[in-house]
A and B are shown apart, each in its own frame.
Chain A
């Protein structure tokens, strides 16, 4: 998918001008991408159907206690991870609105889309993790208890946050829809409906700006609450060593930002390259994101240091068991890889920031690797406190968890499905906001 990158207006064909940003055009590369992500999604579906028919015995999860397993595994890790990614989208978008950061505007819609897709995936991951998925959907609406930290996850994160993000994306895209609706194409009706009466009048523009500003302002606290509530899912559990703590909520927020901005960097770089939008997504955008990521990474590194120090200074027996497993034991490889990806890249980004030599390729690598680190850390938050966090002397105090193909398949399916959704969106709507200069406000 490297051939078709020219702005469509400049290459008229079949009498009608092409829609911008590759919308409505399907290259061979895109079809390959579509095929791969579809296959990936089907793999996930097969995994899930297997789990559904056999029961969750098909996963590697088992009971804590006498079975010596972990009852939450990569599904919950994925929930936390995906919800984390969603952080970045709305944050970036909100920051752009609130502070009018022009350099980042090109990434705003990507960020919003990423948020929506990530939240959808997080929601699916939750359903996948339920023993009674249908009952889960019904009973949460019917009985959900505010006292349970899941109330926040379900009502605020999935429902409120997702809805707000969709509204936000919608409102910020109406202008583009209105523009595109003027251009004859198969999608004209679709754009017209999307625009829903937007005429790009000055009045509408200012109203639009006002609305999105306030919505962004309203979303920000929602975001902190949502991510904190996810942190509370773990941080409030006094009976699970390694989880209980006040740092859990802020750490969740920060790591959410890390993974989200990491993803955005990668996403932006791909779009920039594929659609030839080096101008719209300039190096400044990457510099912004890089600096932002650097700050988050430094803060998170600080949290990691605090975490390690607290773990090794005077731990309780159970804390020590988990600490040992993380620092030197079974999970050490993952722990140190994760920490390394986070800390090393903080330094690397710092270097780029100081020298002001921002390199997109390097940032993509960093974006990917910090996500590996973030995923690793999510797993390390969820799993070791179960396998190594027993307070009663079950077994030798050490349980085990190794995911089965079903879980890996579902994970692959989720990522594929997410990519597929993004790919489809990009064929239906410009992934970068159309430039103001092209269309002046209607007076």
Chain B
């Protein structure tokens, strides 16, 4: 079993994918569903097992049995730690949920959908588990290739094609950028194993190391959709089939960030250690900018999936802020936050999918007052919106609490206001949607505002009065898991230990290259959750107030007109910048890389 389990989260889904492709159209739909679900279920189990096992030290698994010679790696390793295994387990669970949801959702073309989903799954697992930088790139590309195809799945419409094009071009450029960085590193160290590169780089921090760091980081940040690399995300989410959105928002974007953290802690930490303060400042500013832009743009949308997509952008900004603390408490908080957010956002997208299935539209203004017909979906949405603002016991608040206490020690306590701001605005946006759809509050459709680009999309199903259990139950399960994770005993302590393991560069190198024994990690005692609880409740109340103000009936709106005028004064130019033009996206991408690179170059030399 020890020979099989570490490789199986990649090998099993890929084998099943190939099998399903070979028998395309010759097997019944239900059998294909069952096989695909079985493969993803297997990945969940295997990854959970790896998660348990690796909490006592890294699992280092050499593909092809090529153990390192004299401390030099000659093969590819899976280097599995609890956070990596956790990411893979979470990705597999979301794939499973998405497959269950789509069982009655798609009028699928042969088995192509299943094949692509399984390839996507295998890529995400490999991406989380690998310990080799080029292998990371290969799985990054596999993830992208499957994602592009899934994104353009609904070829009958014009939107998906344009969204997929923007997605594909920007992400491919990001991948080439990361590959160039990898080339630079290889030119310096002659190694591809991350542990060995880290060892070989040591403390040097010349131009090459900085350039490699910035290029690899920016390549992955394109996937993580940080401003100014974020444009593709809203487009891709707005058009991808709903079950696929769950994966994009719930885990794929976060995996971009995971890769940044992995790369930093295994390879560059030694080199950049004396510039920790500057690194922190740069990433915090980037994250804060992203959180604010994402939140504002989210509030301005009426296409519900696009709204959710911008909210994801806002939350990845917060996640980058958490990573930027470069402390184990914040990293543990980040892990919990990703989990909570992924469950929540997944459930939100699924409920949007139910709306689309039931009412045939995804435009907030079109759906005004129609929610009574789809009461379960809109009711769920209300619940979920509260989670976005971090109300306890929703899982995100656990993460926020950890991040806050870590930030406080680093004199960054002001970032908790950013967390509150992003939480309030994105939650208010979803509450507004739910209020408008379910209760029919707020303005009616204003036909004068037509030049807004895509606001709606076609059905993905044949529609129907009934919402099948395969759609409703997964949504509910995600919601309950998101609530339940707060009650797992010792979760925070265990995650902190895992984060310490993740960040220990020296122990990582010794375990990978020299079979060293793992050290034991003893995190601090649990801190009080009370401030987090209070803050969560305050944000939720504020979110309710903001949403209420927006939805006020006409006569009462007068009072806040000046305020909303101010808001749209800020929003207008921001929306114009999101032009939907691929050239703009690439120009901003280059500008982002140049700016981040320039800042690092300035600080380090």
A and B interact physically = no
**Partner-A contacts on B (CB < 8 A):** none
Using CB atoms and an 8 Å cutoff, list the residues of chain A in contact with chain B: none
